[in-house]
Amino acid sequence: MSQSAVGATLGAAALLGGCAFLAPSTPHAASAPAHLRGAAPGASSAAGAAAPLAGAALLATAAALARPTESATTRRAAAVKKKGVKVVHGKEIPWNLFTPKAPYAGKVIENDVHPQTLTEDTGDANWETCHVTFDHGGKVPYIEGQSIGIIAPGPDKKGETPARIRLYSIASSAVGDNQNSKTVSLCVKRVVELDGKFANREKGEDKPDKAGTGFPDNQVYRGVCSNHICDMSPGDDVMITGPTGAEMLLPEDPEANIIMLATGTGIAPMRSYCRLLFHDDAGASADGGRKFKGLAWLFMGVPYSKSLLYDDEHQEYKKNFPDQWKYDYAVSREDKNAAGQKMYIQTKMAEYADELWELMQDEKTHVYMCGLKGMESGMAECFGPIAEKAGKDWAEFAKAMKKEAMRVEHSLKGPDGFEDALNEIRNKLTDIQSDSQRTAKLDRLQGEVKRHVSLQAELLTKTMKDILKQSTTQIWDASASKGAEEIDGIPNLLQKYPRARSLESEKFCLGANGPFFLQFYPNGDAQSQTGKCGLFLWGPDSVYVKARWAL
């Protein structure tokens, strides 16, 4: 099967299971590894939740909640079985096909569906979010909900070149934006910080970026990788690692309900799901409808309406699938709720709290969260009162959901240096993994060599034995056909010949082997016992002879 065909089937399989790459399995595609269960990204302060996009905050937390099911409790951490593949609950998913030491060299291509810059200038330094598409030639297959790593040329924060990898959630479905399974798209927010704690451009040094934004009058910190990506143009090289991530995969049940909570670029994995569910040929059913039969409900939080990402696509789904697609967004710096409060994602969700709560009682409902830290506390804010009304404790309910089947992404935003440390650990882990894979490969090779050598030795021994057997048979046959060598006058010889004196026969051949000759000691050779004679058959060293004597 060609790479593109693999990629093309992946998307469908993530939803419905059963294809060449993904073996059919349990209804949920993935759950948190055992050691991560319950280790949801720490809920940040209420202030954090209340101001999700303040400052230079980025995609910070990616988490997914899913309703508990009986089978989910028995699931265990996925194990890497072979290179480039991870087995997640019995299914193989693409995994770290490319590592920081051996990345895939792709090319930036023209976006099919969006302009590179998705947002409009809001006046904030970090206003820009880009949609960038890379050609991977079918070499980097992935499934919805996974991430890839990008290696920028650098220099990185400590001067390293190239820079350490940065992870990005994949924003395209498995088949890619143009559905040829050869591209991958990202949704990347350009990190630009003015006069902050860190700077990599002194006053007067900052030049306008690709979007034309520059800050020559400030000390500027430009994020190493996000600026590298946002400044890319078609034809540019890009170093890709991965794919990775098994925590945010779609459930296989086509009737599952998908609730998506996204802030900012946290929309990336949600876009990847929605493309499969509502757009791609891979998600279409034979009757012209969609394979997906459940409800998908997206709540999105952004600071400005100018930063509402992929709104055109969401409106399109709303128009085409009014019974299956719901879309609500909160624009925190522009909208207010009825009580005059700023509209954050949890404020918007609170408007539908009853409906959402009811949906969450259904075990087919999966809740995916991706974006800023504080979303979890936002959920608590939204569902705490309604849970209480239903006689339940939200914290316990959420914990149970997570414990049983929640997909937990790591917290991405923390104290200064936290993200760096996290990335460093990730890099090391990937390196160790690739090293250990290399060691395992070496071990395997050595094993193979050993097996080969012993097989050769066995063959050789067998061949030698065969040859010997053959030549013995030949000799035996030959000698049998020749008859016995006769030695005349034995009694006379016994009397006349002193010990250790011998008689030698003529040289002769047995079949093709020889020459041979017989040596007879009538009164024994030097080593013989008294009263015994000695008889020797001499021949070439290389010939093994089995002989029977009759004297």
Nearer to ligand FAD, 19 or 412 (CB): 412
**C-alpha distances in angstroms, 474 versus 289, 345, 549?**
80, 94, 17
Q: Shortest Cβ distance from residue 435 to ligand FAD (Å)?
A: 22
Site string for ligand FAD, 181-220 (x = CB under 6 A): ------xxx-x-x--x-x----------------------
What's the closest the beta carbon of residue 150 comes to ligand FAD, in angstroms? 8
Among 15, 50, 93, 167, binds ligand FAD (CB under 6 A): 167
- We find the least distance from the C-beta atom of residue 339 to ligand FAD, in angstroms, to be 32
* Rounded Cα gap, residues 57 and 125, in angstroms: 12
**Of the candidate residues 14, 30, 50, 58, the single one contacting ligand FAD (CB under 6 A):** 58
Does 143 interact with ligand FAD (rule: CB under 6 A)?
A: no
- Window 325 to 384, contacts with ligand FAD (CB under 6 A): none
Nearer Cβ to ligand FAD (157/499): 157
Structure tokens at 309: 């990402």
Q: Which residues sit opposite 132 in a β-bridge?
A: 186
User: What H or E segment, with its residue span, contains residue 515?
Assistant: strand 513-521
Min CB(445)–ligand FAD separation in Å:
34
Q: What residues from 61 to 120 belong to the interface with ligand FAD (CB under 6 A)?
A: 62
Residues facing residue 518 across a β-bridge: 537
Are 13 and 249 in contact, with CB atoms under 8 Å apart?
no
Kindly state whether residue 147 participates in binding ligand FAD, applying the rule CB under 6 A: yes
Residues 309 and 217: their CA atoms lie apart, in Å, by 30
Among the listed ranges 25-33, 164-172, 280-288, 399-407, the one in contact with ligand FAD (CB under 6 A) is 164-172
CA atoms within 13 A on the CB side of 336: 4
CA dist., res. 369 & res. 41, Å (int)? 11
**20 phi and psi, to 5 degrees?**
-60, -40
Give the shortest CB-132-to-ligand FAD separation in angstroms: 10
**Nearest to ligand FAD of 323, 416 (CB atom):** 416
| Cβ-based nearer residue to ligand FAD, 191 or 330 | 191
| Residue (266 or 384) nearer to ligand FAD, CB | 266
Q: Which of 95, 104, 215, 221 binds ligand FAD (CB under 6 A)?
A: 221
| Full DSSP string of 410-475 | EE---STTHHHHHHHHHHHHHHHHHHHHHHHHHHHHHHHHHHHHHHHHHHHHHHHHHHHHHHHHHH
**Minimum separation from the CB atom of position 457 to ligand FAD (A):** 52
Between 198 and 536, whose beta carbon lies closer to ligand FAD? 198
List binders of ligand FAD among 376-415 (CB under 6 A): 409, 412
Cis check for the bond before 254: say yes or no (omega within 30 of 0): no
Minimum Å distance from CB 461 to ligand FAD?
57
Give the total of residues touching ligand FAD (CB under 6 A).
30
Phi-psi region of 500 (alpha: psi -120 to 50; beta: other; left: phi over 0): left
Q: Which is nearer to ligand FAD, 67 or 189 (CB)?
A: 189
Cα 186 from Cα 149, distance rounded (Å): 11
In 351-421 the beta strands, taken as DSSP E runs, fall at: 365-371, 407-411
> What is the C-alpha separation between 277 and 290, in angstroms, rounded?
7
Q: Token pair for residue 439?
A: 């060691």
Q: Which of 218, 265, 347, 427 binds ligand FAD (CB under 6 A)?
A: 265
Q: How many residues does the chain have?
A: 551
Give the residue, chosen from 5, 36, 39, 56, that forms a contact with ligand FAD under the rule CB under 6 A: 56
C-beta closer to ligand FAD: residue 145 or 294: 145
Cβ proximity of 163 and 225 under 8 Å: yes
Beta strand pairing call for 61-66 and 407-411 = antiparallel
Q: Which residue is nearest to ligand FAD (CB)?
A: 223
Considering only 165-173, 295-303, 317-325, 356-364, which stretch makes contact with ligand FAD by CB under 6 A? 165-173
Query: What CA–CA distance (Å, rounded) separates 432 from 436?
Result: 6
Note whether 419 binds ligand FAD by CB under 6 A.
yes
Decide if 162 contacts 239 (C-beta within 8 A): yes
Q: Give the C-alpha separation, 115 to 430, whole Å.
A: 33
- Give min distance, CB of 186 to ligand FAD, in A: 6
Minimum CB–partner distance for residue 379 and ligand FAD (Å): 20
User: Token match 């070499």: residue?
Assistant: 139
Quote the strand ranges of 306-381, DSSP E.
325-331, 365-371
Cα(378)–Cα(367) distance, rounded to whole angstroms?
14
Provide, for the chain, the percentages of residues in helix, strand and coil under a 3-state DSSP scheme, each rounded to the nearest 5: 30, 20, 45
User: CA 484 to CA 211: how far, in whole Å?
Assistant: 105
Judged by CB, which is closer to ligand FAD: 59, or 343? 59
Q: Which is nearer to ligand FAD, 396 or 420 (CB)?
A: 420
Q: CB under 6 A: which stretch of 57-65, 299-307, 337-345, 400-408 binds ligand FAD? A: 57-65
Residue choice 110, 312, 388, 420 for contact with ligand FAD (CB under 6 A):
420
CB of 420 vs ligand FAD, minimal distance in Å: 6
Q: How far apart are CA 124 and CA 114, in angstroms?
A: 22
Which is closer to ligand FAD, CB of 26 or CB of 147?
147
Q: Give the list of residues 6+ apart from residue 441 with CB closer than 8 angstroms, or none.
A: 83
Q: Which is nearer to ligand FAD, 170 or 379 (CB)?
A: 170
Q: Per-residue x/- marks for ligand FAD, 222-261, CB under 6 A?
A: -xxxx-----------------------------------
Among 21, 134, 142, 168, binds ligand FAD (CB under 6 A): 168
Binding site for ligand FAD (CB under 6 A): 56, 58-59, 62, 147, 157, 166-169, 187-189, 191, 193, 196, 198, 221, 223-226, 265, 268, 409, 412, 416-417, 419-420
